A and B are shown apart, each in its own frame.
Chain A
Amino acid sequence: MTVTEKVLHDRFHTSLYTDAKIFEAEIARIFENGWVWVAHDSELPGNGSFKTTVIGRQPVIVTRNQAGEVNVMLNRCRHRAAAVCELETGKAARFMCPYHGWTYGLDGRLLAVPYDEGYGDNLKKEDFPLYPVRAESYAGLWFASLNPDVEPLIDFLGEAAPWIDLFMKQSVDWPLEVIGSHKFEFDGNWKVPFENTTDGYHLPVVHNSYLRFMESETADRLGQVMRDESIYCRALGNGHSVGVFDTSAVDLSAAHSGETPSHYKELEAELLQTMPPDVVARVLRGVGGVGFNLNLFPNIALSGAFFRELRPIAVDKTEVRHVALGMKGGPASANRARMRIHEQFQGPAGLGSSDDREAWERVARGAKSGRDAWVMLNRGLNREHLIDGRLVSHATDETGMRELYVRWKKVMTDAY
């Protein structure tokens, strides 16, 4: 069965979740040949700061060099391949390989080779920088590609770009800042949480216990999804999509006449002691995040108030990071409120994510049965329609997932 035969417009073959050969082809074609998200600007807060991460499964270093430029490089010494940086984040003046001491600048240039008389003319330092990786940014989001001929980032983001701009409004007049991360693994395929990001249909089922035991804006929002006719999912092209779960919180800078929710009253009182009411109103509007989840193919979602990063490890193992966001230099009490909201739902101990994680593992377990069975993607086909050239349906429909698999099919065709 070819790739074309495995992905139909309303279903795909179970092997997309379970076949290690398909996974290897995804790593090569999707993660190593296209754009993947690697960092947010705030994770590189000054010259000399760095972050290590992966493109697919290849370790890379993201640095802000002494000139303030961002560089992405493979995290391997040009000599004998040892990783030159083991810390996840930090500040450094240079990277010295721990094996034989080759030393590189933050821009990747090979600065020093110990006892280089052993090379004579055989080693020209300028020929052995850390392997550079192409990197471009949009609105503070840094993406990288191992394919030097990949299309410009802005073309790849396309119609997703204006939604990125809308997402960034939640930090009001301060820059958005990464303020922590919940990391967790599950035994299952990376596409399952990708699909989940715009899956409104699971909310009242998987998160039933959260909705019953929490009182929050998130719970209110999630509890309404099956009844709210105004919410929608929109395909954005190139595998991207957006699920809008609260139309009143799409543009947080738009006029808003809503009451302050009761669970923000204490925070509101605290903020009003030091800030004018109009700014307080905007901060409170942003604390719960935007009313949509923007899914960017293949590894990052801007989801309400946080980033969801996907790191594929194997066909049946994925690391997920739920990255908490705050306002850099903004009111500490509001940033703390954002952390407390994140802790309630997100991460391995959160009252929401832990159930998502379990559901995704159930998918992986179930997908081991039915060797010739199909995974269905047909919800909403009966009510999906074109608006401005893109498919739109209800937020509990599978339009976003279908967009993922249109892209998947395009990239993976002829892969095996």
Chain B
Amino acid sequence: MLTDTRAPSTSMNDFDRCVAFLMNEALILDRQDYSAWLSLWRGDGLYIVPATRDAAADPFNSLNYIYDDEDMRHRRVRRLQSGTALVTTPSTHTVRSLSRFVQLNSDDSLYHLSSSLLLLASRRSVQRMMAADVEHVFDLAGPAPLMVRKTVTLINADEAQTDISFIL
């Protein structure tokens, strides 16, 4: 359920903070500064890319392309940075554009922000476009927002992919 963003919002500061966070995260990922990305998470956070659009409703009990807890995120990043993974020779360059930021209602104390992601990936003279609905869930209790969950639902999640070797 969406908040009517035309109404005056008492949490506009939170909204601005979270949008700024997303923009910063996008910059970090396009620069492949994966160590910095790891520090944006709360320890129990989950990075999820569902394997079907329906799976986004219950990724815990569904098969996903990615279901990374903190341990798996670190392993994924160490592998990407190792220089020994075939998919990183050459690595994929990305530029992403974020938009359509909308706060989602929730019954927890966390901040839920929906956005759209358009991403251009370039590797070995082939460019491809990916598009996704993204939901970030933030813990705003500390001095900086921390990601508790990031779910990236590709619009073609149900279809055959090529590779998703970088971080969405």
Binding site for B on A (CB under 8 A): 88, 179-186, 206, 208-210, 212-214, 319, 321, 324, 332, 336, 339-340, 342-344, 347-351, 354-355, 357-359, 362
Contacts and interface: CB of A to CB of B under 8 A. Distances in A.
Interface string B53-74: 0010000111111110000100
B72 A344 contact: yes
Contacts, number: 94
A375 B66 CA distance: 35
A181 B63 contact: yes
A182 B65 CA distance: 7
Contact of A349 (B65, B75, B85): B65
Q: Which of B49, B64, B78, B82 has the most CB of A within 10 A?
A: B64
B13 interface: no
Given A344-B72, A349-B49, A358-B86, A186 B65 contact: no
Contact of A184 (B62, B85, B163): B163
A351 B75 contact: yes
B82 A213 contact: yes
Contacts of B165: 348-349, 354
Contacts of B84: 208-209, 212
A347 B75 CA distance: 17
Interface of B: 49, 51-52, 55, 60-67, 72, 75-76, 78-79, 82, 84-87, 158-165
Contacts of A354: 85-87, 163-165
Contacts of A183: 159-161
Contacts of A206: 86
Contact of A209 (B52, B66, B82, B159): B82
A354 B164 CA distance: 8
A344 B49 CA distance: 12
Given A339-B63, A350-B65, 20 more contacts: A182-B65, A184-B162, A209-B84, A209-B85, A212-B84, A213-B79, A213-B82, A336-B60, A336-B61, A340-B67, A348-B165, A349-B164, A351-B75, A354-B86, A354-B87, A354-B164, A355-B87, A357-B87, A357-B163, A362-B86
